[in-house]
Amino acid sequence: MPIRRTLSCVLAALAGPVLALWVASVPAEVRIGVVNERPDRPDLALSQYGALHGWLEGRLASRGIALGRLVIAQSISEMIDRLRAGEVEAVIEGVVPTLRMEQQTGLLSPELVAWRKGQRQYTSVFFVRRDSPIQSLSDLAGRTIAFEAPRSTSAYFVPWAALLEHGLAVRPLADQPAPDAVSYVFAGSELNQGYWVHQGRADAGAFNDGDWERTPAHLRADLRIIATTRPLLRWLFSLRTDLDPAVRAAILEELSRAHEDSAGREALETAERIARFEPLTTEDREGIEHWRHIIGRMPEEP
């Protein structure tokens, strides 16, 4: 046993540095990945994040860190594959997709929260026509609700999760709404959700509170909120867990200070109206942990 222990110690001694080297490997270049919000517009992501990528590339270069080309994935699953393949070192994405990629790869760690479209965090609201008899989530059983899109966090995943938490079954709309569940359809956009509810194509809709504010006033006047969800951070910047600490620190530092110079602010604004990046607070991490728990209970694909 002593031999085994000794051998184990030797192996452990040898394995430590090797593992450390393996875990904290330094890539030839750091690659940032984004998921294109519009698969039909491949250039959208590039137009959104190109400026920020370029700015960061310049900043990191002065630190001796090379920034690789922007990796644009057409879906979360693709991004997961790229993470697994080691082709991506950082990801900018919403909370739910980030946590899903985290859970499925074990290689991602949320690091920064972004002020996006004027919001650091948001809640999703459930709305119906003002003249609708629906008063609460419970009244939605046997009704149809309009979500935005399968990828949407605030207008699909979060309300879906809230409905589930509320004990309602949620299914895609078949020919007829299921009497015991809430049938959902995708309107394609938050704006469409409002019109669909107003036009009667759906009985209710759900999106984040910012979208509610952006809904045309006269349309909004004909609608009514029946429920709101728990707050959710607006947008996250995550890094691979095995990224070199110095590189990690350098990237986080640059992004956290990006709003301090004009070029950085302009690049942030282009990237989906981001105002700044901030490190995650404890409260933020608690919230993330909450949603990590919910996602853990969710089926793979809503």
Partner 1 sequence: MTRSLSRRVALYLALLATGLLTLALTVIGYGAWRASTDLGAQLTQSFVEVRTFDETDALLRSGSYLSNRLFNPLYNLDVSLLNEEIEQIRSWLPVTDFLILDARRRVVTDGTPENRRYGQAVAIPPTVAPGSPVARTADNGTTLYFSIGFGEEIIGHAVIGLSDAASQRSMAELHAHSARLWTRLGTSLAYTAALALALVALVSFVLSWWLSRVLSRPLAEMTSAAQEFAAGNLERVLAVRSRDEVGELARSLNQMAADLKKSGELLARSQEIASLGSWEWLADADGLHLSAGACRVLGLGNQELRVPLARVLALVAAPDQDRLRAVFSGKPGPRGRCEVTLRRPDGVMRVIHLVGEPAGTQTAAGRNVGTLQDVTERREYEQRLRYLANYDVLTGLPNRNLFRERLRQAMRQADRHGGQVALLFLDLDRFKAINDALGHVVGDELLEAVAHRLREIAGEEDRVARLGGDEFTVILADPGSAEQAAAVSERLLGAIARPFQLAGRELVVSGSIGVTLYPRDARDLTALLRNADAAMYLAKEQGRNTYRFFTAELDRKAHARLSLEHSLRRAIARREFELHYQPQVRLADARMIGAEALLRWRSPEGLVQPGLFVPALEETGLITELTPWVLAQACAFAGACRSDGLDGFRVAVNLSARQFQEARLLPLVARVLSASGLPPEALEIEITESTLLDHDQSLHNAEGLTGLGVRLSLDDFGTGYSSLAYLKRYAVDCLKVDRSFIRDILVERDDALITGAVVALAKRLDMEVIAEGVETVAQLAVLRDLGCDHVQGHLFSPALAPEELRRWAQARTLVRVA
E runs forming strands in the chain: 32-35, 71-73, 90-93, 108-116, 121-122, 124-129, 144-147, 169-172, 181-186, 204-208, 223-228, 232-233, 236-240, 274-279
- CB of 198 within 8 A of CB of 180? no
Q: Write down the least CB distance from residue 49 to partner 1, Å.
A: 21
Residue 112 φ then ψ, to 5°: -130, 150
Q: Which is nearer to partner 1, 157 or 196 (CB)?
A: 196
Q: Which is nearer to partner 1, 192 or 208 (CB)?
A: 192
Q: Which is nearer to partner 1, 116 or 198 (CB)?
A: 198
Q: Can you read off the two tokens belonging to residue 49? A: 């994040």
Q: Write down the least CB distance from residue 214 to partner 1, Å.
A: 7
Q: Write down the least CB distance from residue 217 to partner 1, Å.
A: 7
| Alpha carbon distance 212, 191 (integer Å) | 9
Q: Which is nearer to partner 1, 55 or 196 (CB)?
A: 196
Q: Can you read off the two tokens belonging to residue 92? A: 């900018």
Q: Which is nearer to partner 1, 211 or 284 (CB)?
A: 211
Q: Write down the least CB distance from residue 192 to partner 1, Å.
A: 5
Q: Which is nearer to partner 1, 149 or 164 (CB)?
A: 149
- DSSP for 24-41, written as a single string: T---SSB-EEEE-S-TT-
Q: Write down the least CB distance from residue 284 to partner 1, Å.
A: 31
Catalog residues that contact partner 1 under the rule CB under 8 A: 187-189, 191-192, 195-196, 199, 201, 214, 216-219
CA distances in angstroms from 202 to 129, 231, 290, listed in the order given? 10, 25, 30
> Positive or negative, the Cα torsion across 282, 120, 40, 31?
negative
Q: Write down the least CB distance from residue 205 to partner 1, Å.
A: 12
